[in-house]
Amino acid sequence: MFFSVLSFAQEQDIVLTETHEIKEVSSFVRHKVKRKETLFGIAKRYGITTEQIIEHNPVLKEATLKKRMKLQIPRYRTVTVSKKSNNKLHLVQPKETLWRIAYTYGISVEELKEANPSLGEILSIGQKIVIPLSSPNVIKNTLDENYFYYTLKAKEGYYRLYKKLGVDRKIIDSLNPNIKEMGLQVGMVIRVPKSQTSDLSVKNSLLVETISLKDSILNNRFIRVALMAPFKSSEVDLDSVENTNLLLQKRNLHTISLDFYSGASMAFQELTSLGVSLEVDVYDTENNSSKVQSILNTQNLHQKDVVIGPLIPRHVNQVSKYLHSKGIPVISPLSTNKVDIKTNVYQSIPEEKLLRKTLLNYLDRKLEKEINPCVLIIADKENQTVKKELLKRFPLAEVIDPDEIGGFIKPDLTDSLLVDVQSNWVFLETQKLNLITSVTSMLNAQSSKERDITLMTTYRGDVYDNENISYEYLGKLHFLYPSIQNPSENKPFQDFSNKYKNQYGTLPNKVTVRAYDVTLDALLRIAFQESLTSPNLVGETKYLHNKFNYQSLPKGGYTNTSVYLIQHEGLTIHEIKE
């Protein structure tokens, strides 16, 4: 068997044989059936299956098991069988993905998965993957980090590629010489200039097309929706305008729920304009488990096509558990906290570990071009696990622990560790406002033309929205982070903002936009494919500030895997496509 092993120095082809372990009968044991014995019990006693007993006792195919019946019980031994193969074995290297391996060997991802039935989307270093080749061919393709790559779809010619990618035939042919011999073929991976990506997403250098369900043919024209949120309307004093105004001016469950509802309502209006009929029931959970249970007991939620909410994780768990046997989808729309993932649960917020991994994978690719950056890690007590993970990635990094009393960093310490000429990567792992403001201010003062500093965090919490954190400082420090939202001021968002302001008298906030995006996406998916149970048929979708690519989990349920990489530059914020 030919193996393609990528080592630190070179590639090697190793001739091996493929071995399999099989079980064969070594002997038989005579068993006399006793009273009340069953075939299942006998099989369990001897560690075999009932089918194996029947195979060697044909009488059981015609007669039932009886007392005093004598059976032949097979005993097995394990035998190793060798067999030559023309396949290759590939050992997964750092930064490799399925499509990169497939591209390297000139095969499709589908062929790779067919040869490796247990293969998942996430690979581990050193993992063995069978390459289905008929001969010991060497590597066909070399991945060039200076380009993006795109997989050709059915009926895509030069004109469609130009409209989609902004790349003309001359450029495509010059970057992909094999096209002159083979022509454009479905599944072919072609090189594309990095400067011309249109509005496609990029994942590990592969351009991924986002689907617009608004322009699709919608099959389901009637959708029943339940929206659950802790409005806590019983606590609102309607007789006192002053008290009500004071309540709504504060950031609390009342205001968050109202913001969410207003965004969802905008989505409902848009769906109606697309010809979709909706039956929407809104329930106030009052942030009370007893109230949630009362809604479950008295309302016909099992007749809904989808339940959006509740907003609180423990209530999401309560609702999903109740509706689990009915198969009613329950979407956790807003919380970053974990929910119990059942087969009917859709976690619309990507997991923290995926956010962190997205940034670290990007830095892995950047390290191929960067010349030995100086890495500093600043992490508080709550983020020691993250610090350890970063140290595994950057073992030579300098670690700075904040002062235990004040939680601050000494300026002369960072100043002595930062270097000129080379890049400085500073990881700030905290959700404490005072530490963030002090570090950003200090690094801003220590940054210069000779000393380039990039401030990063593997998880940006809402604390960064605080007005005391200077966007000017973040811009000067090229602040880089993974995010579930892309806060860009594009035309669709501006149109939405104008429409929202005309209707509600104020501009939309992050919760409002999130509610609009997650609601519109869920209902468009149902309208397109009549249910949410097959999210992989749709793929990645993108709206105002959020994108969604639901992937099924091993134990059931679905989670959103779409993450942005966001960077501040001056007073602007942009998405990094890598």
Which pLDDT tens digit goes with each residue over 510-531?
999 999 999 999 999 998 877 7
Q: What is the DSSP letter of 186?
A: T
User: Which one, of 503, 487, 484, lies nearest residue 544 by Cα?
Assistant: 487
**How far, in Å, CA of 489 to CA of 305, rounded?**
33
State the fold for domain 215-350+493-560.
Rossmann fold (3.40.50)
Cβ atoms of 504 and 266 within 8 Å: the answer is no
Reported in sequence order, the residue ranges of 333-406 that DSSP labels E, i.e. its strands, are 345-347, 374-379, 398-400
Q: H helices within 143-183, ranges in order?
A: 158-165, 169-175, 179-182
What DSSP letter does each residue of 87-144 carry, written as one string? -EEEEPPTT--HHHHHHHHT--HHHHHHH-TT--SS--TT-EEEE--SS---------
Say if residue 36's pLDDT is above 90: no
Return the number of other C-beta atoms located less than 10 Å from residue 83's C-beta.
Answer: 9
Domains of the chain by residue range: 2-17+85-131, 18-83, 147-209, 215-350+493-560, 353-483
**Average pLDDT value for residue range 154-177:** 86
Encode pLDDT of 358-408 as tens digits.
998 888 878 777 777 889 999 999 999 999 999 988 888 899 988 877 678
Confidence of residue 246 (pLDDT cuts 50, 70, 90): low
Q: Higher-confidence residue: 55 or 200?
A: 55
Per-residue pLDDT, 316: 94
**Fold equal for 2-17+85-131 and 18-83:** yes
pLDDT for residue 240: 46
Specify the higher pLDDT residue, 247 or 423: 423
Pairwise CA distance, residues 391 & 268, whole Å: 47
pLDDT at residue 241 is higher than 50: no
Task: Note the pLDDT of residue 409.
Answer: 84
**Which CATH superfamily is 2-17+85-131 part of?**
LysM domain (3.10.350.10)
Greatest mean pLDDT range, 99-113, 139-153, 314-328: 314-328
246 or 15, which is more confident? 246
pTM for this predicted structure: 0.68
What pLDDT score does 445 carry? 92
User: Rounded mean pLDDT of the chain?
Assistant: 83
Percent of all residues in the chain with a pLDDT value above 90, rounded to a whole number? 35
Mean pLDDT in residue range 117-131 = 79
**More reliable by pLDDT, 390 or 578:** 390
Section 254-277 average pLDDT: 93
**Contact at 8 Å (CB) between 331 and 307?**
yes
Nearest residue to 509 via CA among 560, 462, 461, 562: 462
B/e letters for 498-508, b = 16+ CB within 10 Å, e = fewer, are eebeeebeeeb
Say if residue 130's pLDDT is above 80.
Answer: yes
CA distance 104 to 133: 12
**Rounded-to-integer distance, Cα 360 and Cα 390, Å:** 9
Q: Is CATH 1.10.3470 the right assignment for the domain spanning 353-483?
A: no
Q: What is the CA radius of gyration of the chain?
A: 30
Tell the CATH topology of 18-83.
Membrane-bound Lytic Murein Transglycosylase D; Chain A (3.10.350)
Q: Which residue has the tokens 């009932």?
A: 50
Two structure tokens written together for 318:
């309560």
Tokens coding 264: 């969802």
Amino acid at 563: V
Of 55-64, 267-276, 322-331, the poorest mean pLDDT is in 55-64
| Residue 344 clears pLDDT 80, i.e. is over it | yes
Calculate mean pLDDT across residues 92-109.
78
Q: Tell me the average pLDDT across 76-84.
A: 69
- Determine the distance from the C-alpha atom of residue 422 to the mean position of all C-alpha atoms in its chain, rounded to a whole number: 33
SS3 of residue 73 by DSSP: strand
Q: Which of 189-198, 416-425, 429-438 has the lowest mean pLDDT?
A: 189-198
DSSP bridge pairs for 6:
11
195 against 577, higher pLDDT: 577
| pLDDT(258) > 90 | yes
Mean pLDDT for 169-174 is 90
Q: How far apart are the two ends of the chain, measured CA to CA in Å?
A: 36
Task: Report whether pLDDT(247) > 50.
Answer: no
